[in-house]
Amino acid sequence: MQDHGINLENADCMTWLTSQKEESFQLIILDPPYNVGYKYNQYQDTKPQHQYLIEQFLVLSHCQRLLKPGGSVFYLNYPETAARIWAEVDFLDRFEWINWTPHAHVRGTPLRKASRAWLWFSKGKPLINQEAFQTEYRNPTDHRIKKRIEAGLKPASYDWIDLEPVKNTSKQKRKHPCQVPEEMVERFILGTSNPGDLVGDCFLGSGTTAICAVRHGRSFAGCEIDPLYVQVAETAIQAEINAKNLAQSLNEHDVKK
Ligand SMILES: C[S@@+](CC[C@H](N)C(=O)[O-])C[C@H]1O[C@@H](n2cnc3c(N)ncnc32)[C@H](O)[C@@H]1O
């Protein structure tokens, strides 16, 4: 996989982060465990909250060192934790707060917790490819919207994401309890990096960030602490590389014809 610019380690995030080169990443995507007692294969999601928060700050401060100027970090958590991190992290620029309502009613009473926050930090003014953040119109049959579509106009970009979580019946589903949807990660990759750039993720889980990086011609470096999930991720990344190679050779074959 290294031939394809993919470097995945079975390691603890702190060890991995300290071993990476300063200002080498254009984009880092972080979907850490939320410290809510979630059931992973090996990792125990039940740390004292103050210890958990200190670790999250440390991870982000490493990201500050690793990011290139103009680079971005997308950091996912529950809104309550995200708010504390947003308030305290002043060593990166707080660029946007993006709400994700994944329609997943996992736990919580009296109200089930169905929202998450993506914190978009940057190192200076971030590189942005605006089209990547422009999604489809929600009411394309409305006569005013039809006119906009006919005129080639795109909808505005919003600070919320309306994507379903990856369900057990989804084609994307791998052996991991909390995969994020590829469409969401692809949006961040296309929106804040260019082909050839290095994308990172030190809580890789089932491999989503790396798969999307391969798909869009970015290099990837990252880690995951659980060897079982590393295996899941490696298999899925290899399948993505194979699919890409096949598409490329079919394309070359068509051109020769
Ligand atoms: C929320 S999941 C990430 C899911 C991923 N975004 C995906 O789509 O598959 C968090 C992952 O972080 C891993 N993890 C927990 N502590 C870690 C640490 N200290 N270093 C590296 N990975 C860790 C867990 O094993 C888990 O797979």
Ligand 1 centre distance from Cα of residue 156 (Å):
33
pLDDT of residue 111: 86
Atom of ligand 1 nearest to the CA of 223: 21
pLDDT of residue 253: 76
Contact 33, 81 (CB under 8 A): no
Answer whether residue 105 shows pLDDT above 90.
no
Atom 3 (ligand 1): residue with closest C-alpha?
205
Q: 47-56, 95-104, 142-151: which has the highest mean pLDDT?
A: 47-56
For the CA atoms of the chain, what is the radius of gyration?
A: 19
pLDDT of residue 106: 66
Q: pLDDT tens, 177-232?
A: 999 999 999 999 999 999 999 999 999 999 999 999 999 999 999 999 999 999 99
Domain locations in the chain as residue ranges:
2-256
Atom 12 (ligand 1): residue with closest C-alpha?
203
Atom of ligand 1 nearest to the CA of 55: 19
Q: How confident is the model at residue 254 (pLDDT cuts 50, 70, 90)?
A: confident
Atom of ligand 1 nearest to the CA of 180: 8
| Token code pair at residue 54 | 């200190």
Torsion of CA 163, 169, 175, 176, to 10 degrees: 30
Average pLDDT over residues 134-151: 90
Element (H, E) at 9: strand 6-10
Atom 8 (ligand 1): residue with closest C-alpha?
179
- What CA–CA distance (Å, rounded) separates 161 from 71? 21
Say what the pTM is: 0.95
Atom of ligand 1 nearest to the CA of 203: 12
The three-class DSSP label of residue 97 is: strand
Average pLDDT over residues 8-24: 98
**Looking up tokens 């290095």, which residue turns up?**
198
pLDDT of residue 21: 98
Fold of the 2-256 domain:
Rossmann fold (3.40.50)
- What CA–CA distance (Å, rounded) separates 134 from 11? 36
**Looking up tokens 């119109």, which residue turns up?**
137
Q: Pick the more confident residue, 110 or 81.
A: 81
Ligand 1 lining (C-beta closer than 6 Å): 12-13, 31-33, 40, 43, 176, 178-180, 202-203, 205-206, 208, 223-226, 229
- What CA–CA distance (Å, rounded) separates 118 from 31? 9
pLDDT of residue 135: 84
Atom of ligand 1 nearest to the CA of 43: 25
pLDDT of residue 14: 98
Contact 187, 209 (CB under 8 A): no
- What CA–CA distance (Å, rounded) separates 117 from 103? 13
Answer whether residue 129 shows pLDDT above 80.
yes
Average pLDDT over residues 236-252: 91
Mutate to test the pocket of ligand 1, among 43, 57, 167, 184 (most ligand atoms within 8 A of CB): 43
Handedness of CA 56, 60, 66, 70 (dihedral sign): positive
Q: How confident is the model at residue 113 (pLDDT cuts 50, 70, 90)?
A: confident
Ligand 1 centre distance from Cα of residue 195 (Å):
25
Atom of ligand 1 nearest to the CA of 179: 8
Q: pLDDT tens, 34-66?
A: 999 999 999 999 999 999 999 999 999 999 999
Mutate to test the pocket of ligand 1, among 225, 232, 234 (most ligand atoms within 8 A of CB): 225
At 56, give phi and psi (nearest 5°).
-65, -40
Handedness of CA 237, 240, 244, 245 (dihedral sign): positive
